[in-house]
Every structure is written in structure tokens, then in C-alpha cells.
Structure 1
């Protein structure tokens, strides 16, 4: 409870002490990722062998598409949601892109930290004039977005998941250990201690703490940013209440979100038999999977029924997704829809 509360306070202080929230969060998460990867690679090189990796990729190919018989659909759907970014958090990326000043986002405005200047986010967007130079720059921005996605979201996440999977197999499976809850991190740290001593024990737990706090920071910032941005843009009363200073509205919601989170932490501490962390974890994941499924459908609708209709033809020719991307989105929607259906039918007792 103590460290979870400290994490929330840290998230608030980081945002309060920033000139531009996105820049500070980006720097912290970048440092966290570098440190985590450094420690993770030490763990991998210390505990695994080339044979472990051969077995891992062989198993990945042989068991592709197979559903483990001893795992519930509810749990499996949660994993499907959280792998990579997961859930509605994929959409947060667009808010960060705007604050980074990519493309026409540089004209909209960005959310400053409490130390930053008063800012009013533009209520409507801009379209570049369809000149030859602008079209070249639009293509360049879209190319940069694709590179960022494949490098950061796909490749980095895939490698991290692979490293943790191999480590878990080597550390836990070989010893026939099946820890649950918070024991997972502690048990693996104790095993790593047997190889690298007390230093190894603490360095492994430090890596896990960095990973969890980085997730806490990005989720807090992402949820609050989405709520602040959306409500500020659609509600005239909100803009009047904060005198068109989105910074105030952002921090009101941030503090409210942090307090709400700490209240649930306290309740869970004193009513642990009634309030189970894993219940809320699985519930939020499965709700997030529904949200992500809806977002895919809305994205396809926006692309082909809104953007195609209202964008100038030269812009649409550049912005329109490649047919292969559309097919991938449709297949992804079917994939997520399958897990959503199976998980909720199981939860509602509709599966035998």
C-alpha cells in the first residue's frame, strides 16, 4: 500500500514540476526503459542459454494458435489485451503525437505542466494546403509514425515479452514452480539471488519496480490526458470553468484520479477478502478489450466514411491506408472479437 501510494504521489509531482508534461514523461519513461532493458539483459545472459532460446522459438512455432486447456478465457483475454500496449491505451499515442508537434499537431497546442504557461488548446484542427512541398512533408510525417510504431510498439514489445517468457520458463518451469499474485516477482528474485547473490535479488526486484512504476505513470498520464482533452474540447462549461486553461483541468483530473486510486488501495488493504486486485485487473483488461474493438470499428468508419468524403482528394490519396493495413485491422477486429465473446460468455456462465 505504501509504495503504491508513493507511486501515485510521484506521478503527480512529475506532472506538477513539468514545463511540458509530455516531454518530462517521455524522458522518464525513456530512462526507465533503458535501465529495465539493461537489467533484463543481464538476467537473460546470466540465467539462459542458446538452447533455451531455440526451444522457445521452436515452441512458438509448434504451438502457434493453440489455446492452453487449463486457462480460463477470462484470464486469456486479459493477456491478449495487455500484450503490447493493449486496450484503449493505443489511442493515447495520438495525444502524445499532437503534443510532440508532429505534422499539423504543432498548430493545435500542447498540455503544459504546472510550471508551464497558460495554454488554450485549439478546438478545431487544420489541413495542410495541397502543395507539392506540403504533400512531401505529409508523407514524411506518416513514414515517421509508421517507423515509430514498428520499432517501439511492435519490435520492442515483442522482444521484451520474449525475454520475460524465456526467463519465466527457465526460472519457474524447470523448478515446477507456479507462483501467483505478487509472489511471482519475489520467487524469481530469490532464484536469481541463488545465481548472483544478494545484489541479484535486489537488482531483479528493482527492475520489476521500474517496470510497474513506469506502467503506473504512463497509465495515469494517458487516462487523465484523454479525459482532459476530450471533456475540454466537447464541453463549453469545462472551458468556462477553467477559463480556457486546459492545464488547470488536466491537473484537477490528475489529482482526482490519484486520490481515487489511493482510496482503492486503502480499501483493498483493509478489505482484502472482498476487494481482490486481480479481479479489477482482469475486469479492466476485458473492458479495455471491448473498448479497443470498438475503437477499431470507429477507426475504419472514420477512414472510409468521414475522411474519404471530406478530405481533398490529394490529401486522401496520401492519408488513405494501404489495403493490406485495412485487412490487418479487420482480422484484428475478428481476433479481438473472438476473445471478447468467449471471455464474457464464460463470465456470464454461457459456456459449458
Structure 2
């Protein structure tokens, strides 16, 4: 294992492209996509704000839960405000760094296991067989019990991602509907507002409903 780990580390630091015989150059775009969207991915990162709002971090503490109506929350001009801002910034930095390091570690461990266990046997995870092939990580030490345990954990991760997606997309759809309703209401108010024509004179403008009639 020591030699395998050494070869893996050297391959990460100084890739030897001449010996990468199992890598098809046509798969480079797939590899870059997989690296860019490791974890939940860039699309789901947009939903990070909902998670912060639910936790009440920073100014989100005055907005209420994501499922309810948003309440105005503006920074207060107080002497302790800069200290609170630094505390929020420190919290976000630590939390983001923890996620980055954790994802990087698990990704490298998966790559190491694939290099040490799957590559010598010619096993290549592909499409719907990814979890099945990767279950050999545990099966190498624990047999069929390890393979079953890995598949159960993989299923739990997929379910977690699915639930996070459903919840986030639902929040995004609801926020979008509220924003569109707010814009429509403002537009109706603007259309029904009297239009000033000339100094000191106001002539009412017909509403959109009246125009249509």
C-alpha cells in the first residue's frame, strides 16, 4: 500500500501522461465537468442562501424561515456592529473552508481507492454501475457484507441529495412566484397612478383593464 500511495501522490503532483493508457482524451470534458461539480455542484451552491437563512446567520436572523414571508432586515448603526460583522465573516470563512477541505479529502480518498483497487482489476465505474463498481472499495476488506454496506451508504447519499434538491427547488420556485407577484402588483399601481400633465394639473390614466376594454 505504501508504494501505491507514493505512486498516487507522485501522479497527483507530477502527472505522467505517457502512462495514462486507460484515459481516453475524448473524456477530458467529462472529467472537467465531474471536477467542477464535485459534491452537490455549482447549481446547488445557489441554494446555499436558503440554508443560511434557515440557520439565521447574519442578517438572515431577522428575515424569518425560508418558508414564511420575508421581513425587512437592515444593519443597525451600532458600536458593536463591526464586531458582529467580523464574527459572521469568520463563521462563514470557517464553514466554507471546512466544506472545501472535506470535499477535497473525500474526493482524493475515492481516487486513491480507485487507483489501488479498481484500476489493477480493470474495473471502470460507468453510468448506472458507478456505485456497484465502487462498492468493491469495501468488498476488498469485508466481502459481500462490505459491498452491501457501501451500497446502503451510497443510497443514503443519493436520497439526501434528492431531498435537498426538492426542498431547494421548491423554495426557489416559491420565491420566484412571490417576486413576480410583487412586480405585477407594482406594475398595476404604476398604471393606475395619475399621470401629471402640465404644472399643477393631474389627469388620471386608464388602468390596463380599462385600456383592454
- TM-score normalized with structure 2 length: 0.72
Counterpart in the other structure of 1:19 = none
Q: Which residue of 2 aligns with 1:106?
A: 61
Shift of residue 194, structure 1, vs aligned partner:
5.2
Does 2:5 align with 1:59?
no
> 1:239-318 to 2 correspondence within 5 Å?
none
Which of residues 129, 134, 143 is equivalent to 1:197? 143
Deviation at 1:227? 2.2
Please state how far the C-alpha of 1:198 moved relative to its aligned partner. Answer: 2.4
Answer yes or no: is 1:173 the counterpart of 2:122.
Answer: no
Shift of 1:220: 2.0
Q: Secondary structure at the match of 1:235?
A: helix
Tell me how far apart the structure 1 counterparts of residues 137 and 109 of structure 2 sit (CA, whole Å): 17
Which deviates the most, 167-176 or 230-239? 230-239
SS in 1 for 2:69: coil
- Give, in whole Å, the separation in 2 of the partners of 1:197 and 1:83: 28
Q: How much has 1:238 moved relative to structure 2?
A: 9.7
Q: What is the distance in 1 between the residues matched to 2:5 and 2:164?
A: 31
- Aligned partner of 2:89 among 142, 153, 166: 142
Equivalence for 2:42:
87
Highest relative contact order (Cα 8 Å, sep 6+), 1 or 2?
1
Kindly tell me: are residues 111 and 204 of structure 1, through their superposed partners in 2, closer, same or farther at Cα, counting changes over 3 Å?
same
Q: State yes or no: 1:155 paired with 2:101.
A: yes
Change (3 A) 1:234 1:190: same
The separation in 2 between residues aligned to 1:194 and 1:182, in whole angstroms, is 21
Q: Are positions 1:120 and 2:66 aligned together? A: no
Superposed, 1:7-18 pairs within 5 Å as none
Question: Whose helix fraction is larger, Structure 1's or Structure 2's?
Answer: 1
Deviation at 1:74, TM superposition (A): 4.0
Question: What are structure 2's unaligned runs of at least 5 residues?
Answer: 186-213
Q: For residue 216 of structure 1, report the CA deviation from its aligned partner.
A: 1.5
Secondary structure of 2:66's counterpart equals coil
TM-score where L is the length of structure 1: 0.46
Highest CA radius of gyration, 1 or 2?
A: 2
Q: What secondary structure does 1:132 align onto?
A: coil
Kept after mapping to 2: 8 A contact 1:80/1:86: no
Offset, 1:189: 2.7
8 Å contact 1:84–1:158 — kept in the other structure? no
Aligned equivalents of 1:166 and 1:191: distance in 2? 10
Which residue number corresponds to residue 173 of structure 2? 227
The alpha-carbon distance between structure 1 residues 183 and 69, as it changes in their structure 2 partners (threshold 3 A), is closer
How far off its partner does 1:179 sit? 4.1
The answer to whether the 8 Å contact 1:171/1:188 transfers is no
Residue 99 (structure 1) shift: 1.6
Q: Give the Cα–Cα distance (whole angstroms) in 2 for the partners of residues 191 and 90 of structure 1.
A: 29
Q: How far apart are 1:151 and its partner, in Å?
A: 0.6
- Aligned equivalents of 1:194 and 1:130: distance in 2? 61
CA contact (8 A) 1:172 1:178 kept: yes
